[in-house]
Amino acid sequence: MTVGRALRAVRRRTARRRAAFLAFFLVMGPGIITGFAGNDAGGVTTYTSVGAHYGYALLWLLLISTAGLAVIQEMCARMGAVTGKGLSDLIRERFGVRWTIVAMLALLVANGINVAAEFAGIAASLRLLGVPPIVSVPVAGLAIWALVVFFTYRVVERTLFVLLLAFLAYPLSAFIIGPDWGKVAEGLTIPSLPPEQAALLAALALVGTTITPYMQFYIQSSIVDKGIDRDRYRFVRLDVLVGAVLTGLSGLFIVVVAGAVLFPSGVVVGTAADAAAALRPLAGAQAELLFGMGLFGASMLAALVMPLSTSYAICEAFGWESGISHDFGDAPVFMGLFTLLLVVGGAFVVLFPEDLLIELILVSQAVQGLLLPVVLVFILKLAGDRALMGDAANGPVARVLGWGMAALASALSVLYVLAGVLGL
């Protein structure tokens, strides 16, 4: 009898574990996809530039921003599950139409430039294989447009998961090169920041590209679009944590590759594609190809997520119908804005000089960093509002970590502006 009860208890525990795993598998996606989407073409460019110019010196900041990413993304996911509303919808309800318009205009400008940056990343990565931008950009844009317009949320999400495999290129590149891991550990644990505008810009861009404003709008909207409620939220929390950790590791490996190969040689790079090309004579053709593959996957992923995020945010802000599973007839503004961002971003890459595009990419990363403190304040006030969130409102630990991240982002923004004014 005792043995029988023990066997039944084991079977029940096994069944519960299987049920929990299945539940996680069904809801997983928003946190992992959103996190990796932050490591887009602009993000890869930023990480590469930081590693090439400062080696491993700013890795400690990446560690802090990754922890901040997990905290902030968890708040947005929780708000989506508890309220069933997107972030811009809640901003309009709590702070009014004027603040909503300001936030949406800033988001539209920053994201519009960044969509062009993603297509530039696609063009640059395929140019390494001899494919001209006049071919690669329209084909990629048409494929992304058709995926969203003609397929369901589930199909789109599965496609995004396939694109995530491209990020394996960065750890593989790092292990092929074989950096000094002791120096890497030193950069992660010993804070340092040169008092010059270039270094402050790099630090601001590093934080801004790890915790980009558009990611927060997207994750909350995707939680709502996927129909995840409070009962299943505990599985989403794990998804968010895993996504933040993997995103931070991906950024770490990009900085490590650039810091190990480009920093000692003094090679100056303006884009991630420059870094991939520079790796060939310094680290071999394998490293160049892997880095280029990673850039392509990252750019495709973000070229899909970023215009979606913008469309979600603006439509939710003004009460228009939104969602991947809708068609043009059901959600004309959502699909129309998504299409417009793809067309404008792709056309910009094909028609305008590369030097101008690179300058705009760098400016857009700084704009994301300057916009971040404003978006963080909105998130922290909403997630801490007990009238809105009930017992799911932020606790003491989340408040301290969240406001600490907002203070860091604000301090970097102020220092960057002061450095520009003082001419440092």
Cα-to-chain-centroid distance, residue 252: 14
CB count in 10 Å sphere of residue 339 = 17
Least Cα distance to 270 among 57, 110, 42 occurs for 42
Residue 409 vs residues 65, 350, 377: alpha-carbon distances, Å:
9, 34, 11
Cβ atoms of 39 and 343 within 8 Å: the answer is no
Cβ atoms of 205 and 369 within 8 Å: the answer is yes
What DSSP line would sit under 255-315, residue for residue?
HHHHHHHHHHHT---SSHHHHHHHHHHHH-HHHHHHHHHHHHHHHHHHHHHHHHHHHHHHH
Residue 117 vs residues 41, 97, 182, 367: alpha-carbon distances, Å:
6, 30, 34, 14
Q: pLDDT tens-digit profile of 303-340?
A: 887 888 888 888 888 888 877 777 777 788 888 888 99
Least Cα distance to 280 among 268, 292, 264 occurs for 292
Q: What's the confidence (pLDDT) of residue 26?
A: 40
Q: What's the confidence (pLDDT) of residue 269?
A: 59
Residues (pLDDT < 50) of the chain are: 1, 10, 14-28, 281-283
Q: pLDDT tens-digit profile of 9-30?
A: 545 554 444 433 333 334 445 6
Least Cα distance to 208 among 110, 301, 338, 276 occurs for 110
Compute the distance between CA of residue 399 and CA of residue 411 in angstroms, rounded to an integer.
18
CB count in 10 Å sphere of residue 146 = 10
Cβ atoms of 302 and 113 within 8 Å: the answer is no
Cβ atoms of 253 and 173 within 8 Å: the answer is yes
Cβ atoms of 130 and 281 within 8 Å: the answer is no
Compute the distance between CA of residue 143 and CA of residue 301 in angstroms, rounded to an integer.
12
Least Cα distance to 252 among 191, 174, 198 occurs for 174
Compute the distance between CA of residue 265 and CA of residue 260 in angstroms, rounded to an integer.
9
Compute the distance between CA of residue 361 and CA of residue 54 in angstroms, rounded to an integer.
20
